[in-house]
Amino acid sequence: MFIGSLPKIPTKLRSLRLSHNQLSGHITELGSLNELKHIDLSDSKFTGSISRSILSLPSLNQLNVSYNQLTSIKVYTHLGSGLPLQVLNAQKNRLQSHMPVGLEKFEYLQVINLAYNGLAGRIVLAYGQRLGRPRRSLFLDDNFLSVQIPQQFDSSGFGIRGNLANNFLNCPVTITICGGGQRPASACVSEIGNR
């Protein structure tokens, strides 16, 4: 149950696991730790954004910042190619706005979990295009995403895992990751009015 901000981290550290604490503040200072391969800061009280500098760490393989109070993901549109990031877990934060554009450029990214946030708008077409190449898991449930899902989600040949339930999507229940249903249309009208 550590409290306060992130302590000074040794520059050669490869794995940082500080989950289930009461740490707060921003995580941007981790963006200079080029040796980090695994970051787990889940279940704390961090705020601000998942910065470009963290996502572009040259050795980072897994990033878990779930169950915090982060409000945005900042991705360079040219970022991702050649970077080793495979797992991004940012579920149960306060992410707002639209789906982060640029994550599809991470060629090794296999798992994206952005469930239980406040993301709205369309699912970016490129998310569907990357399914199975190498994307294996996509969790976007309990957001405010709307309109039609990309047609690639309708292919069962990819063997993907995930969940798109509790959004405002036109998401046929015959598609496995659409199971669980969508929010009612009345909630969609109310949510659009509040934004």
Domain membership of residue 47 (yes or no) is yes
Whether 147 maps to a domain, the answer reads no
In-domain check, residue 189: no
Q: Taking Cα atoms as reference points, which of 17, 5, 26, 122 lies closest to residue 74?
A: 26
Tokens standing for residue 71: 């409000």
For the chain, the domain total comes to: 1
Query: In terms of residue numbers, what domain contains 112?
Result: 3-118
Q: What value does the CA radius of gyration of the chain take, rounded to a whole number of Å?
A: 17
Task: Give pLDDT, residue 126.
Answer: 77
Question: What is the CATH classification number for the domain harbouring 27?
Answer: 3.80.10.10
3-state secondary structure the chain: CCEECCCCCCCCCCEEECCCCEEEECCHHHHHCCCCCEEECCCCEEEEEECHHHHCCCCCCEEECCCCEEEEECCCCCCCCCCCCCEEECCCCCCCCECCCCHHHCCCCCEEECCCCCCEECCCHHHHHCECCCECEEECCCCEEEEECCHHHHCHHHCCEEECCCCEEECCCCCHHHCCCCCCHHHHHHHHHHC
Instruction: Report residue 92's pLDDT band, with 50, 70 and 90 as the boundaries.
Output: very high
What is the pTM for the complete model shown? 0.90
What is the distance between the alpha carbons of residues 99 and 106, in angstroms, rounded to a whole number? 15
Q: Predicted confidence band at 194 (pLDDT cuts at 50, 70, 90)?
A: low
Is the separation of the CB atoms in 109 and 131 below 8 Å? no
* Residue 77 pLDDT: 66
22 found inside a domain = yes
**Phi, psi dihedrals of residue 74, rounded to the nearest 5°:** -110, 115
Q: pLDDT above 90 covers what percent of the chain?
A: 55
In a domain, 100, yes or no: yes
179 inside domain: no
Q: Is residue 160 part of a domain?
A: no
Contact of 178 with 150, CB cutoff 8 Å: no
63 φ, ψ (degrees, to nearest 5): -130, 115
Q: How confident is the model at residue 38 (pLDDT cuts 50, 70, 90)?
A: very high
**Residue from 169, 189, 193 nearest 181 by CA:** 169
Q: Is there a domain that residue 190 lies in?
A: no
Give the angle 130-132-138 at the CA atoms, nearest 5°: 75
Average pLDDT, integer, range 183-195? 67
- In this structure, of 60-64, 68-72, 125-129, the range with the lowest mean pLDDT score is 125-129
Does the pLDDT of residue 31 top 80, yes or no?
A: yes
Mean pLDDT, rounded, for 177-189: 80
For the chain, what is the mean pLDDT?
A: 87
Whether pLDDT at 112 is above 80: yes
